[in-house]
Amino acid sequence: MTAAELIELSREGIVTFFKVGMPVMVIGLLVGVVISLFQALTQIQEQTLVYVPKVAAIFGSLLLLLPFMADGMATYMARIAARIAAGN
């Protein structure tokens, strides 16, 4: 395996990581911002208020996005397995 192939494989891995993980992280970020805005507008400064809605939103997004995430990981793993089987 040449250095260029290794760099390409690493780049594909990083892109796959972001495709799989980013939607859930963005949803968590958006829920956190909305709850923080709510806290600022109502002057409720309870630190634990963020956790329950954020956990619920992330869990719900995982349920909805799990097929997409599994497909992305399976596609990447199939490419790696094909390279291993080809001896590259």
| Residue 1 falls inside a structural domain | no
Altogether, the residues listed in the chain come to a count of 88
Rounded Cα distance between 22 and 27, Å, is 9
Alpha-carbon torsion, ordered 80, 81, 86, 88, to 10 deg: 30
Does residue 76 belong to any structural domain of this protein?
yes
Alpha-carbon span 44 to 4, nearest angstrom: 54
End-to-end CA distance of the chain: 6
Give domain status of residue 61, yes or no: yes
Q: Is residue 2 part of a domain?
A: no
Contacts for 36 with CB less than 8 Å, ≥ 6 apart = 50
Host domain of residue 59: 9-86
If one counts the domains in the chain, the total is 1
Each residue's pLDDT, cut to its tens digit, for the chain (88 residues) gives: 788 888 998 999 999 999 999 999 999 999 999 999 998 898 888 878 888 999 999 999 999 999 999 999 999 999 999 988 988 6
Contact 54, 33 (CB under 8 A): no
Q: What is the value of pTM for the model shown? A: 0.78
